[in-house]
A and B are shown apart, each in its own frame.
Chain A
């Protein structure tokens, strides 16, 4: 049922159904992609955490039980990792969600909006666009922001 077109290496493109299984497949491929990047551990964790937030948001809130697809494209260029996520759910800009109050005591904590707040914090840039009947979210991480283990260029 799932026919991801994948090209491991410096870029990755994959289309999955907007289901929990599709989400799991997308994360698995993203993880494999990150492994090949040889990125610092924290950068890799930031990429994976942000992607989980974005994809889970689409599956749980965007598509819910409706049939739809998610396209994930990842690439590395000029010391940046860029992930592009396009989904067929109704128009929704997650970047307009209000940030949660992270200072409340435990009993009053609400977790809505926390995921997208993490996405903002864990990426260097994130932008939203609605076109072709799809939501497009582009996430960017600058690998140079962290010390690399050696000075080799790509």
Chain B
């Protein structure tokens, strides 16, 4: 899957493109694990290019949250579309994450002390 990435003042914004399902989730997970290994623990996931997410993708998000918490880092999610937000809500995942309307706001959130 296509995964865009931008860095900004100590935070990394990861923007997957397309669908996050059981076929694409392993690539996204590998990408995020790579960031953690490189010491990047302030992470924004920008969902503006994501059509939908299934439980395989939720699993990747939960592992990211747990891994980042252990490293005393921060995760924030940005620009959840209707479908993505619905799945997060049904899974009871919204309370587990900082969710912002834009990648810029989410970046400010993970950079906050």
Listed in ascending order, the chain A residues whose CB lies under 8 Å from chain B are 20, 23-24, 27, 31, 41-42, 45-46, 48-49, 52-53, 55-56, 59-60, 102-103, 106-107, 109, 111, 114-115, 117-118, 121-122
B54 touches A111 (CB 8 A): no
In the assembled complex, the Cα of A114 lies from the Cα of B55 at a distance in Å of: 7
B55 touches A53 (CB 8 A): yes
User: Closest CB of chain A to B20's CB: distance in Å?
Assistant: 9
Q: Point out the residues of chain A lying under 8 angstroms from B62, CB to CB.
A: 106, 109, 111
Given contacts A20-B23, A56-B22, contact A41 B92 (CB under 8 A): no
In the assembled complex, the Cα of A23 lies from the Cα of B56 at a distance in Å of: 13
Interface of A is mostly: helix
User: Closest CB of chain B to A32's CB: distance in Å?
Assistant: 13
Interface of B is mostly: helix
In the assembled complex, the Cα of A52 lies from the Cα of B83 at a distance in Å of: 14
B83 touches A56 (CB 8 A): no
What are 6 A-to-B residue pairs whose CB atoms are below 8 Å?
A20-B23, A48-B51, A49-B21, A106-B96, A111-B55, A118-B87
In the assembled complex, the Cα of A118 lies from the Cα of B55 at a distance in Å of: 8
User: Closest CB of chain B to A77's CB: distance in Å?
Assistant: 24
A115 touches B92 (CB 8 A): no
Given contacts A24-B23, A103-B92, A118-B87, contact A45 B51 (CB under 8 A): yes
Q: Point out the residues of chain B lying under 8 angstroms from A42, CB to CB.
A: 82-83, 86
Cβ-based interface call for B53 (8 A):
yes
Cβ-based interface call for B112 (8 A):
no
Of the candidates A45, A102, A106, A117, which one forms a contact with B52 in the assembled complex, judged by CB atoms under 8 Å apart? Answer: A45
Q: Mark B48-65, 1 if CB is under 8 A from A, else 0.
A: 000111111011001001
Q: Point out the residues of chain B lying under 8 angstroms from A52, CB to CB.
A: 19, 21-23, 54, 56
Given contacts A49-B83, A49-B87, contact A115 B23 (CB under 8 A): no
B52 touches A49 (CB 8 A): yes
